[in-house]
Amino acid sequence: MHTVHEVIEMSGHIIDSYTLPRAWDTIMDRGGNFDVEEMQVGATKNDTSYVRLKVSAPNDEILEQIISQLQQLGAVMMQADDVHTHTVEQDGVLPAKFYSTTNLPTQVRLEGQWVTVEKIEMDVAVVIDRAQKRAYCRPMHDVKVGDEVVIGHGGIRVQAYERERERDTFAFMQSDVSSEKTKVRAIHNIAQQMKEVRARQGKILFVLGPAVIHTGAGRYVAELIRLGYVQVIFGGNAIITHDVESALFGTSLGVNLKSGDQVEGGHRHHLQAINAIRGVGSIDKAIEVGLLREGITYEAHKHNIPMVLAGSVRDDGPMPGVISDMQVAQGLMREEVQGVEMAIMIASMLHAIATGNLLPARVRTFVIDINQSVVTKLSDRGSFQAAGLVTDAELFLRELLEAVKKD
């Protein structure tokens, strides 16, 4: 049988991080084969290993698929050509063989030099600026006629995610989303990491679902903002609406947050909250005139914390400040995730997935939800870096706040 082949090399902790066996799996699962041309195994746990594989496949298409997969594991093609590109011929349409990114650190070879792709995120294209010798991520709908887009797999280098040896909280949580684990320790560890991130002026992103307000935990988030542990907030119409409702009426979805009573039957309060803010024109104005005096939104505005609120088709209102156009909302989220070092997603599914798609793999991401299937779903979406905690949003935030306040 006629076959095609490529030679690739991999190095690092490729054996104890399971990278090499996964590479071999990938090759064989796709119908390819390989020869080990050279292999040096690190003798102790501190030594790295090296392997050079000749990968063969029955045809070019399969070979390309295999190489594409191996690149995500950190493989580099031996014949280091420059990256191949193709010019966009139609706005919002990519060349057929466009290279689709991972969220791992990625480099492309331009005139013999490895250049880091900027603003890395998953599932987008890479646009080359030859004049500046720079490379950027660009979502499909944003490419313009004339953009030079990376195609194929040559001249691309992806830095694989190496599982850390340390048994830290992260590893502990990552291994398992079980609710049957001691969580206080995990929460304290998250608090510790938040302090470290803030000590080096890093940004912490919170993605919040409306259950944060319904459970009465909004005040803990407000306090975290005041203490300087929140640098950016993502959410939707529901979180801001119920936050404002709770500030104006003391209720969330009509339930009194102090007494737990249903104050009035329907959803009237949340509509009144939206209408009231629409009446004065904006959140800024509502704060200025003294209408809005507390809550997450209030604190965020007082402390100049950007809130990106992406609407959805189920929204009432919406509240002023909520973005109705999804491309615009994504665009703003893309800007705000720059520089984020840690993301904490609580009781949110839609906005958490949207955010997960935009975050580079290096961002430590914690997903907190009481529903195990939500946590699993988020952890499964190719976000290597996401760790899940199946627990109660309210009690999580209460504990987290106490933990960051201790020295």
Residues 183-202 that bind a second copy (CB under 8 A): 183-186
Rounded to the nearest whole angstrom, what is the least distance from the CB of residue 311 to a second copy in the complex? Answer: 4
Rounded to the nearest whole angstrom, what is the least distance from the CB of residue 50 to a second copy in the complex? Answer: 13
Nearer to a second copy, 116 or 178 (CB): 178
Distance between CA atoms of 315 and 242, rounded to whole angstroms? Answer: 12
Give which of 152, 307, 327 is closest to 243, Cα–Cα: 307
Task: Report DSSP state, residue 278.
Answer: H
Nearer to a second copy, 110 or 213 (CB): 213
**Sites for a second copy among residues 280-309 (CB under 8 A):** none
**Sites for a second copy among residues 229-268 (CB under 8 A):** 236, 255, 257-262, 264-268
Rounded to the nearest whole angstrom, what is the least distance from the CB of residue 11 to a second copy in the complex? Answer: 16
Site string for a second copy, 356-375 (x = CB under 8 A): -x------------xxxx--
Which of 271, 287, 291, 305 is close enough to bind a second copy by CB under 8 A? 271
**Sites for a second copy among residues 52-81 (CB under 8 A):** 65, 68-69, 72
Contact call for residue 11 and a second copy (CB under 8 A) = no
Residue 220: what residue type? Y
Rounded to the nearest whole angstrom, what is the least distance from the CB of residue 66 to a second copy in the complex? Answer: 9
Which of 8, 10, 26, 75 is close enough to bind a second copy by CB under 8 A? 26
Which of 3, 41, 284, 302 is close enough to bind a second copy by CB under 8 A? 41
Q: Taking a C-beta distance cutoff of 8 angstroms, is the pair 357, 337 a contact?
A: no
Which of 58, 105, 306, 317 is close enough to bind a second copy by CB under 8 A? 317
Nearer to a second copy, 110 or 322 (CB): 322
Nearer to a second copy, 125 or 225 (CB): 125
Nearer to a second copy, 139 or 155 (CB): 139
Q: Taking a C-beta distance cutoff of 8 angstroms, is the pair 74, 19 a contact?
A: yes
50 forms beta bridges with 11, 40
Contact call for residue 44 and a second copy (CB under 8 A) = yes
Distance between CA atoms of 359 and 119, rounded to whole angstroms? Answer: 9
**Sites for a second copy among residues 104-163 (CB under 8 A):** 122-123, 139-141
Distance between CA atoms of 241 and 276, rounded to whole angstroms? Answer: 11
Rounded to the nearest whole angstrom, what is the least distance from the CB of residue 116 to a second copy in the complex? Answer: 21
Give which of 161, 151, 88, 77 is closest to 114, Cα–Cα: 77
Q: Taking a C-beta distance cutoff of 8 angstroms, is the pair 102, 132 a contact?
A: no
Residue 369, classed as helix, strand or coil, is strand
Alpha helix (H) ranges present in 166-314?
A: 169-174, 184-199, 211-214, 218-226, 237-249, 268-280, 283-288, 296-302
Number of residues that bind a second copy (CB under 8 A): 114
Residues 6+ apart with CB under 8 A from 199: none
Distance between CA atoms of 46 and 24, rounded to whole angstroms? Answer: 23
Nearer to a second copy, 136 or 376 (CB): 376
Distance between CA atoms of 93 and 120, rounded to whole angstroms? Answer: 20
Distance between CA atoms of 294 and 183, rounded to whole angstroms? Answer: 30
Q: What is the four-CA torsion angle of 374, 271, 298, 341, rounded to 10 degrees?
A: 20
**Token reading at 196:** 């470290």
Rounded to the nearest whole angstrom, what is the least distance from the CB of residue 294 to a second copy in the complex? Answer: 16
Which of 98, 161, 298, 366 is close enough to bind a second copy by CB under 8 A? 98
Rounded to the nearest whole angstrom, what is the least distance from the CB of residue 144 to a second copy in the complex? Answer: 13
Rounded to the nearest whole angstrom, what is the least distance from the CB of residue 113 to a second copy in the complex? Answer: 27
Distance between CA atoms of 370 and 374, rounded to whole angstroms? Answer: 8
For residue 105, how many other CB atoms are within 10 A of its CB? 16
**Sites for a second copy among residues 378-407 (CB under 8 A):** 380, 382, 390-392, 394-396, 398-399
Quick one: which segment of 105-113, 181-189, 223-231, 283-291 binds a second copy (CB under 8 A)? 181-189
Which of 48, 87, 100, 116 is close enough to bind a second copy by CB under 8 A? 100
